[in-house]
Amino acid sequence: MARALETVWVFGDQLNRKIGALATAKPETHRILIIESAGKIASRRWHVQRAHFLVTSMRRFALELEQAGFKVDYRKSATMRKGFKEHVAKFSPSQISVTEPNSYTARQLVASLKVQTVKSNQFLCHPDDYAKFAGDKKSIKMEDFYRWQRKRHDVLMDGKNGDQPVGGKWNFDEENREPPPKSGHDRWPKPKQHKLDKIDQQVLDDLPSSVFGKKPDGLWATSRADALVRLKYFVKELLPTFGEHEDAMLESNWHLAHSLLSPYLNNGLLLAQEVVDAAADAFAKGNVPINSAEGFIRQILGWREYIWNCYWRWMPEYAERNHLQAHRPLPPLFTNPKKTKMKCVSTILNGVNERAYSHHIERLMVLGNFALISGTDPQQFTKWMWNSYIDAHEWVMVPNVLGMSLYADGGQLATKPYASGGAYIDRMSNHCKGCHYDRKKRTGDDACPFTVLYWDFFLRHEKAFVKNPRVARSVRAAQQLSDVVELKKTAKKILQRLDDGEA
Ligand SMILES: Cc1cc2nc3c(=O)[nH]c(=O)nc-3n(C[C@H](O)[C@H](O)[C@H](O)COP(=O)(O)OP(=O)(O)OC[C@H]3O[C@@H](n4cnc5c(N)ncnc54)[C@H](O)[C@@H]3O)c2cc1C
């Protein structure tokens, strides 16, 4: 009798032949299991582009593996656990291996089943290595971690012993915080797009009617080949100008020089190592200035890996944190941008409906900032973002939203709350021109909600922040405002309008 094949179980965010257990699998000895869980797909009101992206990528990956000679059990099942049991009952595999999953819940599931877990190589810092780096330090600065990563991965390193940063500095952020240029807003080439095919259509037909947002139009790649095309295009056409306007926001250009690569990094179509290598190589060939190369590499080798490790260090309690006791239910404007007259917010939210994406500063300094200063419930806001974004996964959403954006962890991840008023948005964007609200006003019906709630936030939380060296000045400035009483009244009115969907 022929020996039963071993099974390699691949999760939907591990879609790469080089990852963990799959890296050593062979068509002669291994069958691949991929489970599409109907329960997971129907569990939330997902953005249609996000649901389509994840499911289509899985189905295409299964076909690629079949083309490479593997037997693939692509199993549509009610739940992951049920799908696993059905697979075992049907094939009685001699052994089942799985690469360490990327979420806490999936690891719990795997731990409860008879499977062999293989260490993951999907990230550039495994939690075991991070634990060694962290030792018994109470807190880890991203900057220290990033420098350590640069050295040990030998990225943009120089000097006799290769121990100095190329360009003489670790950080070129100062050159990368330029406001938007006054003109030439179409200088950044448009993102690549491809035509949808029968597989895309089939997935769309299979999705539940609860999905929302504009249907996919080929902006997001769903195969490794197309993701590689996007990577090449980014490195050649956009990376050279990545740095300068990294933090800028434009009403008329949603992408600027951002890579739009996060969805592929997060579901495995691209690997962090190859993205970092491509950027470092373009720099070495003289095609990209150091501020752009370093700025981009910092995001992946530094921030992305730091966030990944914060997740594993602090979960599962972390997801429940609400340090500032923010209990406002998710304001209606997040699910219906017509319910706000704030131009920055409605432009970005319309963009999210259109493409399940907005760039980092729009997430942090507009949407996240607004949720922070309006006292929105961190878990509700996280859930909304998670449902809405193309690149959302628990490991990256939870620390970015709860920690970086909402200070819900009491400063474990970010040492200050990223609160800001209309002045910041005006400096870094062109949204304020023509807005219904006046970003300079902090009282009256047309006072900018960002400006009013910014001051109100520091008054509400003066005790929590007056001793924080990074924001103590804002607290003291708020306390010294000449119109505190009137400002507080205006804030109250704005929050009422917000709850009523009339902000
Ligand atoms: C409130 C909030 C929510 C976020 N939610 C997500 C999310 O669900 N998924 C996600 O991948 N990123 C998330 N981020 C991080 C960051 O905003 C996105 O990675 C980035 O905007 C993706 O667009 P891009 O690929 O064009 O990025 P680029 O600007 O081109 O940056 C390059 C890459 O760096 C990585 N990166 C940069 N910053 C971070 C970060 N803070 N955390 C993790 N990776 C980072 C991403 O992989 C990104 O593709 C969030 C940030 C905030 C403030």
Q: What is the pLDDT of residues 342-398, one digit of tens each?
A: 999 999 999 999 999 999 999 999 999 999 999 999 999 999 999 999 999 999 999
Across 207-220, average pLDDT: 97
Q: List helix spans (H) across 300-421.
A: 305-314, 343-355, 360-361, 369-373, 378-388, 394-398
Protein residue with least CA distance to atom 41, ligand 1:
303
Question: Which residue in the block uniquely carries the two structure tokens 């080949």?
Answer: 225
Q: Which residue of 247, 299, 348 sits with most ligand 1 atoms within 8 Å of its CB, as the best mutation to test the pocket?
A: 299
Multiple choice CATH, 6-118, 3.40.50.970, 3.40.50.620, 3.40.50.10420, 3.90.45.10 = 3.40.50.620
CA 266 / ligand 1 centre spacing (Å): 10
**Ligand 1 proximity of 266 Cβ (cutoff 6 Å):** yes
Across 450-466, average pLDDT: 97
CA 99 / ligand 1 centre spacing (Å): 24
**Secondary structure of 33-89 in HEC code, one letter for each residue:** EEEEEHHHHHCCCCEHHHHHHHHHHHHHHHHHHHHCCCEEEEEEECCHHHHHHHHHH
- Residue 435 is predicted with a pLDDT of 98
- Residue 159 is predicted with a pLDDT of 76
| Boundaries of every domain in the chain | 6-118, 127-314, 322-499
**Digit-coded pLDDT (tens) for 409-431:** 999 999 999 999 999 999 999 99
Q: Which atom of ligand 1 is nearest to the CA of 418?
A: 53
Protein residue with least CA distance to atom 20, ligand 1:
360
Across 134-158, average pLDDT: 95
| pTM listed for this prediction | 0.97
- Residue 156 is predicted with a pLDDT of 97
**Ligand 1 proximity of 414 Cβ (cutoff 6 Å):** no
Query: Residues 428, 178: contact at Cβ < 8 Å?
Result: no
Across 453-471, average pLDDT: 97
CA 392 / ligand 1 centre spacing (Å): 9
As a whole number, the mean pLDDT across the chain is 97
- Residue 138 is predicted with a pLDDT of 85
**Band (162; pLDDT cuts 50, 70, 90):** confident
Q: Which residue of 260, 292, 400 sits with most ligand 1 atoms within 8 Å of its CB, as the best mutation to test the pocket?
A: 400
For domain 322-499, the CATH architecture is Orthogonal Bundle (1.10)
Task: Decide which of 427 and 161 is more confident.
Answer: 427
Protein residue with least CA distance to atom 5, ligand 1:
397
**Ligand 1 proximity of 303 Cβ (cutoff 6 Å):** yes
**Digit-coded pLDDT (tens) for 312-348:** 999 999 999 999 999 999 999 999 999 999 999 999 9
**Ligand 1 proximity of 30 Cβ (cutoff 6 Å):** no
Contacts of range 451-454, beta carbons closer than 8 Å, 24 or more positions apart:
451/421, 451/422, 451/423, 452/487, 452/490, 452/491, 452/494, 453/370, 453/373, 453/374, 453/421, 453/491, 453/494, 453/495, 454/373, 454/419, 454/420, 454/421, 454/422
- Residue 428 is predicted with a pLDDT of 97
**Digit-coded pLDDT (tens) for 297-309:** 999 999 999 999 9
Model confidence at 287: pLDDT above 90: yes
**Digit-coded pLDDT (tens) for 223-260:** 999 999 999 999 999 999 999 999 999 999 999 999 99
Query: Residues 243, 422: contact at Cβ < 8 Å?
Result: no
**Band (102; pLDDT cuts 50, 70, 90):** very high
Whether 6-118 shares its CATH topology with 127-314 is answered: no
- Residue 161 is predicted with a pLDDT of 78
Across 49-66, average pLDDT: 98
- Residue 1 is predicted with a pLDDT of 52
**Ligand 1 proximity of 262 Cβ (cutoff 6 Å):** yes
CATH number of 127-314: 1.25.40.80
Percent of the chain whose predicted confidence (pLDDT) is above 70 = 99
SS3 call for 159: coil
